[in-house]
Amino acid sequence: MSNPMVSICMPAYNAGKYITEAINSVLSQSYEQLELIIVNDGSTDNTAEILSQINDKRVKIFHQTNKGQSSAANTAFYHSSGSLIKFMDADDIISLSFIESQVKCISGRTDVIVSASWGRFYNNDLSTFKLNPETVWKNMKSLDWLTESWRYGNSMMQCALWLIPREILEKSGLWDKELNLINDFDFFSRVILNSNEILFEKDAVLFYRSGISGSLSDSKSEKAIQSAFKSIEKGTSALMSFREDKDTLLACANTWQQFAYTLYPNHKKLLKNVEDKIHKLGGANIDFKAGKLGELFIKLFNWKTFLLIRALIKP
């Protein structure tokens, strides 16, 4: 099929401030054979009002009581018809030829998924955008991609990056409705492991909005932290069920170590559990990034002391 239908699945919760930009970035795509399925997940702001004003036959809108991002993403998928699927957050912006270039890249294959370039912009100002090149910006076998991406503990698996054949989602399963924070880590670990290869499309660019206070990824509630723990546990276990060599163990340990840095001093009990996992994997080798003065302090003392003092003086 030369022009397959692409379904963009967009869960939305209290996204009124950003969703118009996200929708416009989809509807202005150079690729025409697409549908946008938006699921309003019980928003209490003006999201529903904004959605009611859309008049485009390519857009399907559904409303549900608040069940979480994962549930809303799954609902959108259930209403999709495309042979190729993309999930997007309601504050994402993608380049004009994003979907067209990814469709050309996948070229009808159903055993691979396509990734994209990405960068951050801050304070809702696109002029601050800067690409964030990674060592995985190339075609790679799936196991190698995960191991390399996790090597430094800061893997980027944001949902809008990926174009996924429906056949792969039918094997990998959908989003875990029990997870809210970094649920994409679990989900895309499974998706990637059920593909043979990751194809990289440099001309598809995701503009990733950063610095939003109150965003889900900024949450440090106990429920969110437990979700992050479960997501990392599921993702790392899935990878190790395929391969347990030295590089894989280190990649998993570094992923846990990066998470450990977010737990102190407020989640000491969970931190002990994470440190036990790191030890069993053979240890991590990534340092806490804290700027020149912070890193000097950490060399003289340790990262826990640094984080404790920072927490005490933080307003």
- In terms of DSSP bridges, do strands 112-122 and 197-210 run parallel, antiparallel, or are they unpaired? parallel
CB contact at 8 A, 56 and 83: no
pLDDT cut 70: percent of the chain above it: 97
Tokens 């025409």 found at: 32
The C-alpha atoms of residue 42 and residue 44 are separated, in whole angstroms, by 7
The C-alpha atoms of residue 92 and residue 26 are separated, in whole angstroms, by 10
CB contact at 8 A, 36 and 27: yes
Confidence bin at 315 (pLDDT 50/70/90)? low
CB contact at 8 A, 102 and 201: yes
Which secondary structure element, helix H or strand E, spans residue 39, and what is its range?
strand 34-41
Residue 130, strand partner residues:
120
Would the CA dihedral through 117, 169, 212, 21 be positive or negative? positive
Quick check: 154 pLDDT over 50? Answer: yes
Average pLDDT over residues 277-294: 94
| CB neighbours of residue 131 within 10 Å | 12
At residue 215, the pLDDT reads 47
The C-alpha atoms of residue 253 and residue 244 are separated, in whole angstroms, by 12
Which of 256, 267, 195 is closest to 226 using CA atoms? 267
Quick check: 44 pLDDT over 50? Answer: yes
pLDDT in tens, 182-239: 999 999 999 999 999 999 999 999 999 997 654 444 557 888 999 999 999 999 999 9
What is the CATH T-level fold of the domain 6-212, as seen in this structure? Answer: Spore Coat Polysaccharide Biosynthesis Protein SpsA; Chain A (3.90.550)
Confidence bin at 29 (pLDDT 50/70/90)? very high
The C-alpha atoms of residue 107 and residue 101 are separated, in whole angstroms, by 10
CB contact at 8 A, 87 and 9: yes
At residue 235, the pLDDT reads 98
- In terms of DSSP bridges, do strands 125-131 and 140-141 run parallel, antiparallel, or are they unpaired? unpaired
Q: In sequence order, which residues have a C-beta less than 8 Å from that of residue 18 and are 6 or more positions away?
A: 90, 91, 124, 209
Quick check: 245 pLDDT over 70? Answer: yes
Structure tokens at 185: 């880590």
Average pLDDT over residues 52-72: 98
Tokens 């790679």 found at: 140
| CB neighbours of residue 311 within 10 Å | 11
Angle, CA of 71, 191 and 174, to the nearest 5°: 20
The C-alpha atoms of residue 75 and residue 300 are separated, in whole angstroms, by 51
| CB neighbours of residue 315 within 10 Å | 2
**Mean pLDDT for the chain overall:** 95
Which of 105, 180, 149, 178 is closest to 251 using CA atoms? 149
Measured in whole angstroms, how far is the alpha carbon of residue 12 from the centre of its chain? 15
Q: Where in the chain is the domain with CATH 3.90.550.10?
A: 6-212
Average pLDDT over residues 93-105: 98
Average pLDDT over residues 272-296: 94
Average pLDDT over residues 246-252: 98
The C-alpha atoms of residue 91 and residue 211 are separated, in whole angstroms, by 12
